[in-house]
Amino acid sequence: MTPPKILLFGKNGQLGWEAERQLFCMGDLFAYDYPQIDFTDPKKVVALLDDIQPDFIYNAVAFTAVDQAESEISKATLINSTTPGEIAAWCKRNQRSLMHFSTDYVFDGYLGRDYREDDLPHPLNVYGQSKLAGEQAILQSECTALIFRTSWVYSMRGESFVIKFLSWARDKDELRVVDDQIGNPTWARMLAQLSSCILPINKEDFSAFFDQNGGLYHLAGGGAASRLQWSQEILDNLTHEANIKTKNLAGAKTYEFPAPACRPLHSALNCEKYESTFGRKIPHWKLGLRLALDELAG
């Protein structure tokens, strides 16, 4: 048995930081992030692949600033589409495997139910368009790849919605949060675990595993919620002194908070295909949130 050589891109992001802590015991791990590697320069990324010759690439890099993407279209396209497409082409040429992540924002949110993998994408913003183009470039390359679309990713580090909400709640007696955006709050650790625990342990098994299971899947926190429900659940689960001022949360509508990028209203993902293919149960988003908030207690 030979462990695989794994290359992780985006090790400092919400998902990548957690993924490194899963992948480091699954093979020989090489982990990079900006500025050691720059996805606006696809040639250099491909040169690194030639150099390292990984068996498997886990790509957690993305341009995720949804509003900023509206004015930085070429940068978002390079990072979310062009370079993932070049990585996929390299995988195809060298018979290696790729795991990549996409977003619920490939959908417009008008369907009125949770989205399945075969529902028609129709992004409302540049970020969603660039992520959809990335999916298509990978699928068209015909490399062996798993693409996981996920939604509302948060971690207890950095600038996630949970961290931002807690800082607002320390500041204000009452907060207004939108109740018309529905998604799946997804703890980055859960996403890292559920995406990596399915991988083979033996390098020789990778191509058969990806041949058999490759394709597009939805993978996000179980159940769905509005941003208001998510926020209320954060407040209800603070089991320690967090210096919170907020006593009341009030509902608001998305149109009351104008932003450069238009967001889908109901873009929650149906994740049954992941569960039935890989035989894993996705935990409810409320359980993930409770465990994530436990970390605040130290």
Ligand X SMILES: NC(=O)c1ccc[n+]([C@@H]2O[C@H](COP(=O)([O-])OP(=O)(O)OC[C@H]3O[C@@H](n4cnc5c(N)ncnc54)[C@H](OP(=O)(O)O)[C@@H]3O)[C@@H](O)[C@H]2O)c1
- From the list 32, 105, 115, 127, the catalytic residue is 127
Binder to ligand X among 58, 115, 152, 274 (CB under 6 A)? 152
The yes-or-no answer on residue 127 being catalytic is yes
Binder to ligand X among 4, 6, 7, 13 (CB under 6 A)? 13
Q: Which stretch binds ligand X (CB under 6 A): 29-37, 210-218, 246-254, 258-266?
A: 29-37
Q: Are 202 and 3 in contact (CB under 8 A)?
A: yes
Residues 154-173 that bind ligand X (CB under 6 A): none
- Work out whether 141 is an interface residue with ligand X (CB under 6 A): no
Question: CA torsion, points 7, 37, 81, 67, in degrees to nearest 10?
Answer: 120
* CB atoms closer than 10 angstroms to residue 159: 12
Total residues contacting ligand X by CB under 6 A comes to: 27
Residue indicated by tokens 């992001």:
13
Binder to ligand X among 63, 165, 187, 210 (CB under 6 A)? 63
Binder to ligand X among 49, 57, 62, 166 (CB under 6 A)? 62
In single-letter form, the type of residue at position 108 comes to: D
Q: Which is nearer to ligand X, 228 or 279 (CB)?
A: 228
CA distance 220 to 184: 6
Q: In Å, what is the CA distance from 96 to each residue of 9, 38, 142, 143, 217?
A: 15, 21, 11, 8, 19
Q: Which is nearer to ligand X, 152 or 165 (CB)?
A: 152
- Residue 15 falls in which region: left (phi positive, over 0), alpha (psi -120 to 50) or beta: alpha
- Work out whether 38 is an interface residue with ligand X (CB under 6 A): yes
CA distance 122 to 129: 8
- Work out whether 210 is an interface residue with ligand X (CB under 6 A): no
Give contact residues for ligand X (rule: CB under 6 A). 10, 12-16, 33-34, 37-40, 60-64, 79, 101, 103-104, 131, 150-153, 188
Catalytic positions: 127
